[in-house]
Amino acid sequence: MPSFIESAKKHLATGNAALVPIISQYICQERVESEEGQWVKELFLRAYSPELRLSSMLWLLKQHRYLNDLSAETGFSESALLEAIQSSPRIVRFPVLDCEGSSCLARAMVYVISSSHPRALALCGSRNLECSHLAELSGISCVIGFDMNIEGRSWQLAVLAALLDKNVIARDDLAFSGVVLEKGEIAPAESIIAKKTCCEAQEINLVSRVKTTSQLQEWLNSHIIPLPVLQYNGSENELRSWQTLLEVKVKESYAWFSYELLEDFHGITRKDLAISESVNLAFEAKAWQDFLGHQVQNRFDSLEHRLSPKKALWFYAGQISALQLGIGAIFGFKRALAILQLDFSSSSYKQVFTLHGSQNARELKNVSISDKACKKVEGHLQITEPESKELGLIIYLGSHNPIGEAQEFCRTQLQVRNFLVIKAKENQGVLDLKENWLRWIQEINSLLNHAREEYHWKRIHLFQTAPTAICMALGIAIGHFLPVDVYHYQFGAEEPKYRKVFSMDRVMSYKEVEI
């Protein structure tokens, strides 16, 4: 193995890249003698390899050698440069392409230092590159090193991310590619498909579609990330259209959000956020049970795991009312949630439940409002067979009146003759979309709890016409702890038009057989 001086002289004379790992090994393992420091300085000043230039600078700083030369070359004071060895660098990755179009991952090592004026200096091959706009945009001055030769400017997004990220630990799950412009806009990088393919092969996400510095900062540092989930049965084009409307609603509170960046930062796609089938659910229990088991049961846990360590604020909207009861039971009441209702008149989503922060989902459950104190609904408990332990629960908040048909179905098909009928006191079928609907569920849950206190029902048969948001919230409130069978009404179906589609208390343990 050639000596350090032999290798340094030959590399400086010929630019032989094969000598770079040999020289780096001498420097990094501190096998350079004190009298050889002159050659380390020459490597810093003239080596074509960014890796050699960086390791040479760090060695000289640790040895307190040639500090005046380092200061003259970089434009930073000696004391500022010495700060580079007092803490670990911020390390971030970015994809690069060679002249043949092959891609690999490079690393940028960002050393934060003090400066009277914001400055960022990149140690490139045989030259220094001023990129002080990165320091101005982040408010942090730095010296930047690389572990391989680079061309172009697409590494700038990676460095800006390293400067803006309050979690300064190396991000092994992300790479970045984009050109940072002077005023903070971020331009797309070239050859992004090849770069993304490279990152996918390494099983890391590539952040490439961020558009501004402020947007980047929010995605890096926000502890809460909005997750818009939509339950929809229909065509892919229709689903995408409704998802776009849902995104518009999320942006009202989180202007920096986009589906594209959710995918870039966390690998969560539009498809992951859709609880959907391209065709209507068959009018049979097994289809509904399988849908809840396959499409819903582990979805929320899985998305939270992919988002970790950040927390989710769920924005949820559904399409089929009865299905929302089961989805709500699976969702649970421990997650932060906003439930949205579609306003058909304006083709937009309205937030009607805000269940996070000071008003979390426990507000749905821990209530006891007396019959007389109810302002939104009224309940009528009709007990014909007090010895029976089964109850028909009929909720009438929609435009279609289910009471007569539901009671007839209970009597003839289920032999159930005890009923709790809950209906709106006013504005039947036209709940105000400008209100917080929390009170509706609190009153419904209270009336149900009062009926349970006296009779201890072993099985409750639930029939409803209500907005999807009400059903989702009621599913959360009831949970999968009450013995509730849910029935769905199918217009145009053969008699009986009502059928049981799932049981709330069994919603978490579906199998491949009909219950």
The pLDDT score that the predictor gives to residue 507 is: 87
What digits encode the pLDDT tens for the residues 63-72? Answer: 999 999 999 9
**Mean pLDDT to the nearest integer, 367-372:** 89
What is the domain partition of the chain in residue ranges? Answer: 4-74, 90-217, 225-348, 364-506
pLDDT over 70 for what percent of the chain?
97
- pLDDT per residue as tens digits for the range 461-492: 999 999 999 999 999 999 888 899 999 999 88
pLDDT of residue 399: 87
Confidence of residue 359 (pLDDT cuts 50, 70, 90): confident
Quick one: average pLDDT of 156-173? 88
Count how many Cα atoms sit within 13 Å of the Cα of residue 86 in the half-sphere of its side chain.
8
CA neighbours within 13 Å on the CB side: how many for 28? 11
Smallest CA-to-CA distance from 242 within 336, 353, 316, 293 is with 316
For residue 273, what are the contacts with CB-CB under 8 A and spacing of at least 6?
A: 227, 228, 229, 230, 243, 259, 303
**pLDDT beyond 50 at 155:** yes
Going by pLDDT thresholds of 50, 70 and 90, the confidence category of residue 244 is very high
5-54 pLDDT tens trace: 999 999 999 989 999 999 999 999 989 998 999 999 999 999 999 999 99
293 DSSP assignment: I
Share of the chain above pLDDT 90, in %: 82
Q: Does residue 170 register a pLDDT over 90?
A: no
With cut-offs at 50, 70 and 90, classify the pLDDT of residue 510: low
Grade residue 305 by pLDDT with cuts at 50, 70 and 90.
very high
402, 400, 442: which is closest to 421 by C-alpha?
A: 402
Reference 145, options 125, 165, 170; nearest CA is: 125
- Which pLDDT band, with edges at 50, 70 and 90, does 515 fall under? very low
Q: d(Cα 305, Cα 327) in Å, to the nearest integer?
A: 19
pLDDT of residue 388: 93
Q: Do 90-217 and 364-506 fold alike per CATH?
A: no
Q: What is the pLDDT of residues 109-144, one digit of tens each?
A: 999 999 889 999 999 987 899 999 999 999 999 999
* The pLDDT of residue 169: 66
pLDDT at 168: 65
Q: Does domain 90-217 have CATH number 3.30.230.10?
A: yes
Q: What is the pLDDT of residues 174-192, one digit of tens each?
A: 999 999 999 999 999 999 9
Taking domain 364-506, whether its CATH number is 3.40.50 is answered by: yes
* Average pLDDT of the chain to the nearest whole number: 93
